[in-house]
C-alpha cells in the first residue's frame, strides 16, 4: 500500500494539481484503491486537497493549494499531461509553478519531450505547451506568438485549445492557426509547424493522432510528424 501511496504522491508532484480521475489513469490502480488512499495522504499532510463542490472533482497537489478556488486551467493541463504520459513516449516534463517577468520567460504552461524509436534512429521532440481555455484576448495570444518566435528556439509550441461555446470562434484551433499567420511568412514553409493547435477533447483522447492544425495548411498533423512523416 505504501508503494501505491508513493506513486500517487510522485505523479501529483510531477503533474499536479490533479483529480482522482487523473491519478487513476496515471497509476493504473483501481478507482476505489485511489479513493481510499487520498484521504489518508491528506490527513498525513502529504497531499493538499481542495473540494470544489458536489458537481466538480476534488483537486490534489503536493503543495498548499487550499487558498485557491479556480482550477479550470490547471486541470486542463493535468488532462494533457496525463494523456501524454500514457502514450509511453513522454521522457521529460517540467511545469513552472511561478510566473516570471515577461522579459525573462515566455511563462509556458509546461515543457516536455517525446522520445520515439524509428527504424534507423531514436528521435527526441521538444515542445512548449500552452493550454488555452479562452481566458486571454487575441492581443495576448499574438504577444505569445511574438515572444516564442523571438526565442530562436527549435522547440515547437503546442497550443491545446479547450472549446467554450460562449467564445466559440475564439476557442477553435483553426482560429489560432489563422491568427499565427500574421507572424509566419507563407514563404517560410519550415516555420508553418512552429505552432501546433489542437482541440483539447481530441488531444486528450489520442495525443499522437492527427489532431493538430498549423498555419497555411488545410490538413491535420500529429505531434510526431517531424519524425514519422
**C-alpha cell belonging to residue 52:** 470544489
pLDDT at 229 over 60: no
Mean pLDDT for all residues in the chain: 94
Domain segments of the chain as ranges: 2-69, 74-228
- Asked whether the beta carbons of 157 and 213 are under 8 A apart, the reply is no
Measured between alpha carbons, how far is 172 from 177 in angstroms, rounded to an integer?
Answer: 9
What is the CATH code of the structural domain delimited by 2-69? 1.10.10.10
Q: Is the pTM of this model over 0.85?
A: yes
Which tens digits make up the pLDDT trace of 121-161? 889 999 999 999 999 999 999 999 999 999 988 899 999 99
What is the CATH code of the structural domain delimited by 74-228? 3.40.1350
Most confident of 52-56, 98-102, 116-120: 52-56
Q: What is the pLDDT of residue 149?
A: 95
Q: What is the pLDDT of residue 228?
A: 58
Average pLDDT over residues 75-93: 98
Amino acid at each position: 500500500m505504501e508503494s501505491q501511496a508513493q506513486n500517487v504522491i510522485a505523479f501529483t508532484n510531477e503533474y499536479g494539481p490533479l483529480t482522482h480521475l487523473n491519478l487513476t489513469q496515471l497509476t493504473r490502480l483501481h478507482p476505489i484503491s485511489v479513493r481510499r488512499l487520498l484521504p489518508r495522504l491528506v490527513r498525513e499532510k502529504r497531499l493538499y486537497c481542495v473540494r470544489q463542490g458536489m458537481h466538480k472533482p476534488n483537486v490534489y497537489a503536493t503543495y498548499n493549494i487550499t487558498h485557491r478556488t479556480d482550477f479550470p486551467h490547471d486541470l486542463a493541463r493535468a488532462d494533457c499531461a496525463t494523456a501524454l504520459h500514457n502514450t509511453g513516449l513522454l521522457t521529460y516534463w517540467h511545469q513552472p509553478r511561478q510566473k516570471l517577468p515577461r522579459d525573462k520567460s515566455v511563462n509556458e504552461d509546461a515543457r516536455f519531450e517525446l522520445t520515439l524509436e524509428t527504424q534507423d534512429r531514436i528521435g527526441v521532440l521538444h515542445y512548449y505547451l500552452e493550454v488555452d481555455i479562452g481566458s486571454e484576448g487575441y492581443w495576448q495570444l499574438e504577444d505569445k506568438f511574438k515572444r516564442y518566435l523571438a526565442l530562436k528556439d527549435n522547440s515547437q509550441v503546442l497550443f491545446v485549445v479547450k472549446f467554450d461555446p460562449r467564445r466559440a470562434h475564439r476557442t477553435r484551433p483553426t482560429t489560432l492557426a489563422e491568427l499565427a499567420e500574421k507572424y509566419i511568412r507563407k514563404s517560410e514553409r519550415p516555420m508553418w509547424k512552429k505552432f501546433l493547435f489542437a482541440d483539447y477533447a481530441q488531444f486528450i483522447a489520442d495525443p499522437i493522432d492527427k489532431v493538430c492544425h498549423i498555419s497555411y495548411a488545410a490538413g491535420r498533423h500529429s505531434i510526431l510528424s517531424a519524425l514519422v512523416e
